[in-house]
Structure 1
Amino acid sequence: MRRFSLTLFLLAALVVLGGGAAALWWVNQPLKLPAPSVDLSVEPGTTPRGIAQAVADTGTAVQPQLLYWWFRFSGQDRQIRAGSYELERGLTPRTLLAVLVRGEEATRSLVLVEGWNFRQVRAALAKAEQLKPETVGMTDEALMAQLGKPGLHPEGRFFPDTYTYSKGSTDTAVLQRAMRAMDRKLEAAWAARASDLPLKSADDALILASIVEKETGKANDRAEIASVFANRLRVGMPLQTDPTVIYGLGAAFDGNLRKRDLQTDTPWNTYTRPGLPPTPIAMPGKAALLAAVQPARSRSLYFVARGDGTSQFSESLDAHNRAVNKYQRGGQ
């Protein structure tokens, strides 16, 4: 009886399509879209008939009943996946079905860059294409509570990477992924830390990694820079790193760091306060995280930029002053 019903269904479809040859021709003909691309949303639980109607509702010139029969005839009608799709010109009924069955949703991407602070992250989220802005207007505190981390400062808590998302996704969902990625990376780095590391917790490692990220000009110097800060922590010497001062100045920083800025006390000023600052100052990447927990073996306490992206490292203040004179003041 079931086979008889299916046969009748196929016969009816062939009659409507004008025979098998006509059916083969139709499923391979480009659909007429109202624009170069149109959005199609397939909600969970939508029936194949409803999906065919949704395609027609986009303005695509197709008979929904005919499309529904094609879905049924293919035997894949129950394999169509919910999601947000972008239909583009040249799509045929055959390729449309393939896209829906494979779940090839329309995606966009957001790049979170190593060394960005959280203000820059929020600005990028606000500009992201087709991303629902759930967090717009939220304070940082409210945002972290929304993410399930109430009371935690957001700085440095999101892993810099490229995140793809479906059209209609929320910025909250993207931030959740980035936060979980950083949690995993930090946990792995802390588990691989050196035995003599002068840090008390994974959070300390995250803070130090953020400083290393901002101080590194060349990747090869990263572990040595981490070593300088680790050595300073060991002997109780102030970190005296400019990026922390700049971070503490916030929007007041005009791009020119002055002597008075170094003397202006903020919680992040490592010239006026000992030890690590209270929070990270940026998003560190994987390499900076590893450098922070596995610094180079050295006795260096100072470094200065050579002007080509690399740094000159010194073990004594006298040697450092000579390096500063050579590379920063043009001395010989």
Structure 2
Amino acid sequence: MKVRGAALWRAVLLLVLLAVIAGGAWMWFDWARFARTPLTVASSGESIDVARGSSFKDIVRALRDRGATQASPLYWRVLAMEMHASGRLHAGEFALRQGMTPRDLVTDMATGKVMQRNFTIVDGWSFADLRRALGAVDTLTHDTAGLDDAGIMKRVGAPEGDTPEGRFLPETYAYVKGDADSSILKRAYGAMAKTLDAAWAGRAQDLPLASPYEALILASIVEKETGRADERPRIAGVFVRRLQQHIMLQTDPTVIYGMGAAYAGNIHKSDLTTDTPYNTYTRAGLPPTPIALPGRAAIEAALHPAGGNELYFVARGDGSHVFSATLDEHNKAVACYQLKRCQ
């Protein structure tokens, strides 16, 4: 009986041991499956915020609350331990990419690979447009919200007295959630200064421009006159020749800029005769400041204008222009394309 009882106990212990081994094996395989199975991410652009001081339990809870994972917090903790990531997870916003596994996410958090966002300054925006666009980005900290133009220029490191129009380079700037909007402005200001200095150093000879700032003013006019890449040097050439020959620029975008809030979408003949510092129908030469934020192409066009004898252009209505060398040719083009009286 004792022998039989001992054999029974051995059998029971063996079964228990086998069950433990089987259970352990199942858990290991299940954990391995968890580590390599993509998270549930409904669409691109999703992310998770890890606040400073968050515990690993807080992070897993946030993932479970948004439906990205249903796995046990224990599985996540074991994964972090296996990756030697426990205790060194970074704070920040982390992307939840489609196809991303738990191992991928822990790697990003351990290495501080925070989610990069983009803010694009559009060619031809005014500085007011730029401020409105920045103010609408809820993932930025708005530390310039209470500043006037002079305060912003001081914040970006500009010399005292500089005005902001035209001073920020249209480009796409990467940032992370929580960055200050002033950090984007500083980078755009520095990028414009660097771009303008380099372009000025390589400018064409005998331009009627006394400084890089005058080139920036001309580039802003070219930017607002056309969005066609092939026309920018040609339009710049028209304005350069008019400056050389002391002919008024007579360009509508400067008039519109000078009208400010009074511009309601249409420009009238009376607007062309109402004097403002920006009315190039009533004042000779360049306006006092840029009228927009010119892109690289417009700056290059202003400093490398096309040659020729054209002094006029008029819009066709399809985004392109008709160029003329004489006033008579120009008047015929205006009659045809603006008044619809083609001969």
Q: Return the TM-score normalized by structure 2.
A: 0.79
Aligned to 1:296: 306
Residues 30-82 of structure 1: CA deviation (Å, up to 9, x unaligned): 6799xx95632365xx7xxx662551463647777764553342245587555
Letter of the aligned partner of 1:115 in structure 2? G
Aligned to 1:195: 205
Aligned to 1:96: 105
Match of 1:120 among 112, 124, 129: 129
**Structure 1 residues 326, 217: CA separation in 2 closer, same or farther (over 3 Å shift)?**
farther
Aligned to 2:59: 55
Residue 74 (structure 1) aligned with residue 78 (structure 2): no
Aligned to 1:261: 271
Please state whether the residue corresponding to 2:117 is helix, strand or coil: strand
Please state whether the residue corresponding to 1:214 is helix, strand or coil: helix
Residues 302-331 of structure 1: CA deviation (Å, up to 9, x unaligned): 111122322222222222222222222223
Gaps of 5+ in 2: 1-20, 65-69
Given that residues 316 and 322 in structure 2 are in contact (C-alpha distance below 8 angstroms), is that contact kept between their aligned partners in structure 1? yes
TM-superposed CA distance for 1:96, in Å, is 1.7
Please state whether the residue corresponding to 2:231 is helix, strand or coil: helix
Q: State how far apart, in whole Å, the 2-side matches of 1:306 and 1:91 are.
A: 51
Residue 331 (structure 1) aligned with residue 339 (structure 2): no
TM-superposed CA distance for 1:164, in Å, is 2.9
Given that residues 50 and 90 in structure 2 are in contact (C-alpha distance below 8 angstroms), is that contact kept between their aligned partners in structure 1? no
Letter of the aligned partner of 1:157 in structure 2? R
Residue 85 (structure 1) aligned with residue 89 (structure 2): no
Aligned to 1:9: none
TM-superposed CA distance for 1:279, in Å, is 0.8
Aligned to 1:24: 32
**Structure 1 residues 318, 143: CA separation in 2 closer, same or farther (over 3 Å shift)?**
same
Gaps of 5+ in 1: 1-14
**Structure 1 residues 69, 202: CA separation in 2 closer, same or farther (over 3 Å shift)?**
same
Structure 1 residues 120-129 or 249-258, which shifts more?
120-129
Residues 145-190 of structure 1: CA deviation (Å, up to 9, x unaligned): 2222242211111111222321222211122222222222212211
Q: State how far apart, in whole Å, the 2-side matches of 1:23 and 1:274 are.
A: 77
Q: State how far apart, in whole Å, the 1-side matches of 2:208 and 2:122 are.
A: 28
For residues 135-146 of structure 1, the aligned pairs below 5 Å read: 135-146=144-155
Q: State how far apart, in whole Å, the 1-side matches of 2:312 and 2:98 are.
A: 60
Residue 134 (structure 1) aligned with residue 143 (structure 2): yes
Match of 1:272 among 261, 279, 282: 282
Q: State how far apart, in whole Å, the 1-side matches of 2:216 and 2:210 are.
A: 11
Given that residues 302 and 317 in structure 1 are in contact (C-alpha distance below 8 angstroms), is that contact kept between their aligned partners in structure 2? yes
Q: State how far apart, in whole Å, the 2-side matches of 1:101 and 1:115 are.
A: 41
Structure 1 residues 242-251 or 98-107, which shifts more?
98-107
For residues 203-222 of structure 1, the aligned pairs below 5 Å read: 203-222=213-232
From the CA coordinates, give the structure whose radius of gyration is larger. 2
Match of 1:250 among 249, 252, 260: 260
Structure 1 residues 195-204 or 145-154, which shifts more?
145-154
Residues 207-261 of structure 1: CA deviation (Å, up to 9, x unaligned): 1000001111532111110001101111211111110000000111011111211
Please state whether the residue corresponding to 1:219 is helix, strand or coil: coil
Given that residues 31 and 75 in structure 2 are in contact (C-alpha distance below 8 angstroms), is that contact kept between their aligned partners in structure 1? no
Q: State how far apart, in whole Å, the 2-side matches of 1:109 and 1:318 are.
A: 49
Q: State how far apart, in whole Å, the 2-side matches of 1:22 and 1:324 are.
A: 76
Q: State how far apart, in whole Å, the 2-side matches of 1:91 and 1:294 are.
A: 48
Given that residues 31 and 92 in structure 1 are in contact (C-alpha distance below 8 angstroms), is that contact kept between their aligned partners in structure 2? yes
Aligned to 1:316: 326
